[in-house]
Homo-oligomer: A and B are copies of this chain.
């Protein structure tokens, strides 16, 4: 039975907390959040106690911490938890600065650390990976990843986000590495503010695309937008020597209407918490399972670092109009 402390009971913390509580192999013991109401709701739903971050990180009752606090606290909390001998699950990104991530990883050594790239655990994308490894497409040659959010976040969020490449496309960089199985050495990127001029005025982009190549010549295309009128668009294509594997969107229902205007299906699931509900559940169960068995876990801190490095490179490429070698 793994005993958990949860740091941060916001939107994601509520999900991880409930998934821990529902696991027969884990127990949610303590929750910390400066907003009493958030902590209280989760505590009452999970029978956990409310505590302080310091208390949780230092507690003998706690085997593992789940870090869902604001990004700028992640690195320090990872370091403190590791120093206290805790296993760590930390939400992405580890930090907006790759140098800071590097320093943290150096400090914590081989403490168990898993980064919350939840999409690896989505049943559709996990099936893609499983079937690539099973040889369904032969050698991977070209991967195309598309991510579009239903609507942009507030500009106030964007201003502190590190920019689209670090905040949003970070998931796609991790997915690219996950599916291709090699590191990328060349990054080219473009970005535009087409959805909302205020995003451009804040120094960011809302529509962007990236082109990357590995040393062996494998190619990855990524595109992101902060807007999709038809729902949360999350699709991947993997082209290989033997064929194509793709993961399509998940529709809200399977109902189809045929009438004089054509043949119409439902919009795709609109919200990431709905689309990735099972991914979050599988992710935490995997962490619990690996920790219980003392086995290494992925995505690792290094995976978090590598995604950050690609995000930095894309930011530079789009800003300076040049290919960036990693």
Contact = CB atoms under 8 A, between A and B. Distances in A.
Interface of A: 123-124, 127-128, 131, 136-137, 139, 141-142, 144, 146, 148, 186, 188-190, 192-195, 207-211, 213, 217-219, 221, 223, 225, 227-231, 233, 239, 241-268, 321-323
16 contacts: A127-B266, A128-B255, A136-B257, A141-B225, A142-B225, A144-B221, A188-B190, A190-B213, A192-B218, A208-B219, A221-B223, A244-B258, A245-B256, A248-B254, A248-B255, A258-B267
A323 B229 CA distance: 32
A194 to B, nearest CB: 5
Contact of A322 (B217, B244, B251, B322): B322
A239 B256 contact: no
A222 to B, nearest CB: 9
A148 B239 contact: yes
A194 B221 contact: no
A243 B257 contact: yes
A145 to B, nearest CB: 11
A250 B266 CA distance: 13
A268 B231 CA distance: 23
Q: Which 10 A-B pairs have the closest CB atoms?
A: A243-B259, A192-B217, A230-B258, A248-B254, A188-B188, A244-B258, A264-B264, A263-B265, A229-B260, A211-B211
